[in-house]
Amino acid sequence: MSEIETFRQKARAWLESVAPAFGKDALKGLSEAEHLAAGRAYQAAKFAAGFAGIHWDPELGGQGLTPLHKVVFEQEEMGFGMPIAYFGVSLGISVPVVLRFAQDRAWARERAIAALRGDEIWCQLFSEPSGGSDLAGLRTKVETEGNGWKLNGQKLWTTFAQHSDYGVIIARNDPKALKHKGLTFFWLDMKAPGVEVRPIKLAAAGHDHVNEVFFDDVRLDDGQRLSPVGGGFATAMATLMIERYSASDPAGFGPTTATFVDLAKSSEINGRPAIADGRIRSAIARSHAMRAGLEAITTRAMRMMAAGMEPGPEGALNKLVSVRSRQKLSELAIDLMGQLGLAWDPLASSKDDWVASWLAAPTGRIAGGADEMLLNTIAEKILGLPQDHRPDKGVPFDQIPA
């Protein structure tokens, strides 16, 4: 048996042992505060068992294994419905960027270990009301003040900002520079004076995991800067590259294909099991093939990172295809459920409830870059097609019409 398969069996055995305390059945009916507490307890247990930070350096609290080990563990974890959502941005995006670019390495190590234990949560402050998925169009400004900086502006759709201790943020330091220049990247204390978080309740699913965040003369030390002055866009691109792979899920963060197979076995079409219907079997085959392809892309990227290489723009395919696949499969599942498909449980998880998954899928097609932005990335960076006409190209930012 290979080392990877041995690790897979070890991971599965541990997950089965803690599922009664932290699995989806144990989480039903919990309030938000109780659910978060369960998430922190699960993350602490995962850290103690050696399954947190699997491919991180042991000096940073990790296990020093390969990215492929991480993929294997997450494949096994996926089916248990563990309360991991609170830590996805922290461990998949924000903390890795801080570890890569922070000036104070000892401080970064402390934050990494605290995040791995579930003691601290991070958010990513990118999107703004006026920019949408156009990261370079941001208007939150940061100005020099003494030996530090002063931050003013607003961010939008910030995941779990209401629970976050820290965040990473990009702001405009020079409005007279070109659109993609004059941007600087920082880490931010979410409890600092002048930071205000306002949760947003989503109309479709009723969740409030996203937020508006306002900044009123927030003081930043220059030691919080994670990029060269004016060079923040490159750091943001490195962040998005990490996000495309570290925060990916072939199921689009919805129910698995196996969950749909179970539904098809228990449902009927014209008096026969739905699983026997050719159209349903075709949908299952398409879903399996598509998600297996996405797993292969992620596995290849993880092998590249293990070899010291940078993964390519193929990560854009992960989010684009996975969430679209989830939306179509969820819609088909609701059709199979008939009248039961009209029921809505506001506390249900989109990982194992088809109605919750379908309602939240449009949000997933916007978060982390809208479909249209990902299609541009695929067209230009993967297929080599010419870039769209951009009237703001080569124009100082303060001369672009607002």
Other beta carbons less than 10 A from residue 351's beta carbon: 22
- Domain extent for 295: 248-382
Give me 99's structure tokens: 């570890």
Assess whether 184 and 211 both reside in one domain. Answer: yes
pLDDT of residue 245: 57
Assess whether 280 and 304 both reside in one domain. Answer: yes
Total structural domains within the chain: 3
Within a domain: residue 397? no
Assess whether 361 and 271 both reside in one domain. Answer: yes
Give per-residue pLDDT as tens, 154-202: 999 999 999 999 999 999 999 999 999 999 999 999 999 999 999 998 7
- Average of per-residue pLDDT across 335-348: 84
Cα 165 off chain centre by: 17
Whether 75 shows a pLDDT value over 60: the answer reads yes
Assess whether 253 and 206 both reside in one domain. Answer: no
- Least confident span in 133-137, 167-171, 174-178, 220-224: 133-137
C-alpha 153/C-alpha 323 separation (Å) is 31
251, 326 Cβ separation under 8 angstroms: yes
Assess whether 256 and 338 both reside in one domain. Answer: yes
Nearest to 366 by CA among 323, 314, 334: 323
- Average of per-residue pLDDT across 102-127: 95
Average pLDDT score over the chain: 89
Assess whether 258 and 361 both reside in one domain. Answer: yes
Within a domain: residue 281? yes
Give per-residue pLDDT as tens, 25-61: 999 888 889 999 999 999 999 999 999 999 899 998 8
Within a domain: residue 401? no
pLDDT of residue 252: 78
Sequence letter at residue 296: A
Within a domain: residue 90? no
Higher-pLDDT residue of 132 and 220 is 220
Higher-pLDDT residue of 170 and 348 is 170
Give per-residue pLDDT as tens, 14-26: 999 999 999 989 9
The pTM of the full predicted model, rounded to 2 decimals, is 0.87
Assess whether 335 and 361 both reside in one domain. Answer: yes
Whether 296 shows a pLDDT value over 90: the answer reads no
Assess whether 73 and 150 both reside in one domain. Answer: no
Assess whether 252 and 361 both reside in one domain. Answer: yes
Assess whether 229 and 283 both reside in one domain. Answer: no
Assess whether 252 and 222 both reside in one domain. Answer: no
Exposure string over 23-40, b if 16+ CB within 10 A, otherwise e? bbebbeeeeeeebbebbb
